[in-house]
Structure 1
Amino acid sequence: MDATTTTGGTVKDPAQGKKPRYVEIADELRARIKSGLYAETGKLPSERALTDEFQTARNTVRDALQLLRIDDLIESRGGSGVYLRTFRRIQRDAVERLSRKQWGAGRAIWDKDLHTRDRQEEVDIKEVDPPEHVARTLGVRGEKVWRRSRLYRSENRTIQQSTAWYPADLAEGTAITERNTGPGGVYARLDEIGHGPTRFSEEIEVRLPLSAESKMLGITMSTPIILIVRTAYDAEDRPVEVNEMMLDSDSYRLIYTFPS
């Protein structure tokens, strides 16, 4: 009798029920994690060690590890290895965080993201000549703009870098040019001078980082980054902000909630 069986006229191959090798490895590693095997160091064996242990190809091990990343069980750290995930992803709801009820009530949009989690930021503010694409969007060719560059950290982890530009005629003389923009942040200050944002557009791209970007965020070259370009418009539909953001994809989960 051959390796196949017939049921109701259908030929079945017993091998069809066998899991792919990378799934078997992922299941084994998941069981080890749940048993606490790696809890003391918080670190998994290297890809090479796992390749040797399971007697398989390195790409098979990488596929297994990717399944664990999808389950938020592990994360890679640049130049260090694979660790148990301890950082809870930030839920970034673009619609809620940018709503007037948030910044209009004097709350920072970061309060919506991080709630009570700790945060630190490095801020660099300067009046500059804008890049061509920013000048074109803001309609300020040949004019200066105010640039606010920020690097954000939470729980000892770099999570985002952003650079925002504002027309000088709006920002000049306001707290937009200062480190502390006050309650409600930049949007509240724009609102005070009659240019509060009434709509936003965000363009999103996901790609692998350049070496300088991976170094800035402290991530591996194989960890995708999320690039978001946001433009804010006032009631006259004038662009009042261009903000280019780079997020560590291992730190965020993007959420969009909106009415039908």
Structure 2
Amino acid sequence: MLRNDGLIISQRGRGSFVRADPPMRYYASLTGSRKKRLEADRRRDTFSQQIEAQGKTPHQVSSVETLPATAEVAAHLGVEPGTLVAVRRRIMYADDQPLQLGDSYYPLDIVQGSKIMSPEDVVEGTDQVLEDLGHTPTRYEDEITWRMPSVEEATKLHLGPATPVGRLLRTSIDQHDRPIELYQVILPGDRHVLLYEVDAQ
């Protein structure tokens, strides 16, 4: 019960320990913020800024592939199912702990030949690369659901038994009203507080 509530962590061969750190704050309304990117002068993406602000050291392990779009991906990107899209997969860390899984899907005609197609870390952030390519993200549409993780997700995130995850599915739309990215982030429920700032006007 304590593990399911995120109050203890288990380490193979060592035992169970009281969690020393509070859950990480995931500022969903600031993720992808153009203002934050410009303040960082192309040196840090918004994920890194958020993690560093909470006293942790961020890093990511990325891979890139080209795949046929599933029906869900195609619907969000406005393409036909089976259309080839670029996929950038990331395991995102705070210090040495895997914190999130992030998969980004892009129309291939936009990102072909860009930094997004390289597994190397994009220090300025992929939104900045999209802007450099002439596709400035101007708004986002978010869908948030909760579920139990897949076996692959639980393995990559080192999840204990019965730990649920949040799934945030964000569609980025550019200045021409074209969908330019579908971003899926998987957030372990025992490690995150999801925060939004909403303008009341």
TM-score by length of 1: 0.67
Are positions 1:91 and 2:30 aligned together? no
State the shift of 1:136 in Å: 2.4
Q: Name which structure has the greater RCO, CA cutoff 8 Å, separation 6+.
A: 2
8 Å Cα contact 1:93-1:256 kept in structure 2: yes
- Say which of 148, 161, 164 aligns to 1:221: 161
Matched ranges for 1:117-132 at <5 A: 117-132=56-71
The corresponding residue for 1:236 is: 176
Equivalent residues of 1:146, 1:168 under 8 A apart: yes
User: 1:220 and 1:79, CA in 2 relative to 1: closer, same or farther beyond 3 A?
Assistant: farther
Runs of 5+ unmatched residues, structure 1: 1-61
- Matched residue count: 193
Distance (whole Å) between structure 2 residues aligned to residue 210 and residue 180 of structure 1: 26
Contact 1:209 1:221 in 2 (8 A): no
Task: Name whichever structure is richer in helix by fraction.
Answer: 1
Deviation at 1:173, TM superposition (A): 2.1
Write out per-residue CA displacement over residues 20-53 of structure 1, whole angstroms, 9 at most, x where no aligned residue: xxxxxxxxxxxxxxxxxxxxxxxxxxxxxxxxxx
Q: Tell me the SS of whatever aligns to 2:140.
A: strand
Shift of 1:112: 3.0
TM-score, normalised relative to structure 2: 0.84
Cα gap change, 1:79/1:208 in structure 2, threshold over 3 Å: closer, same or farther? Answer: farther
Distance 1:207 1:76, change over 3 A: farther
Do the aligned residues in 2 keep the contact of 1:78 with 1:218 (CA within 8 Å)? no
Q: Deviations over 1:112-136 (max 9, x none)?
A: 3201521232211112222221122
State the one-letter code of the partner of 2:61.
Answer: E
Paired residue for 1:75, among 8, 19, 23?
8
Report if the CA contact (8 A) 1:78-1:221 is conserved: no
| Separation (CA, whole Å) in 2 of partners of 1:172 and 1:146 | 8
Contact 1:75–1:250 (8 Å) recurs in 2 = no
CA shift in 2, pair 1:177/1:185, >3 Å: same
Cα distance change of structure 1 residues 181 and 236 upon mapping to structure 2, 3 Å threshold: farther
User: Is 2:134 the partner of 1:194?
Assistant: yes
For residues 199-210 of structure 1, the aligned pairs below 5 Å read 199-210=139-150
Tell whether the 8 Å contact from 2:171 to 2:183 is kept in structure 1 after alignment: yes
Change in Cα spacing, 1:181 to 1:194, as seen in structure 2 (3 Å) is farther
Aligned partner of 1:114 among 45, 48, 51: 51
Q: Counterparts in 2 of 1:130-209, with a 5 A limit?
A: 130-141=69-80, 142-180=82-120, 182-209=122-149
Q: Percent identity?
A: 25
Q: Point out the structure with max Rg over C-alpha.
A: 1
Q: 2:48, 2:58 within 8 Å by CA — same for their partners in 1?
A: no
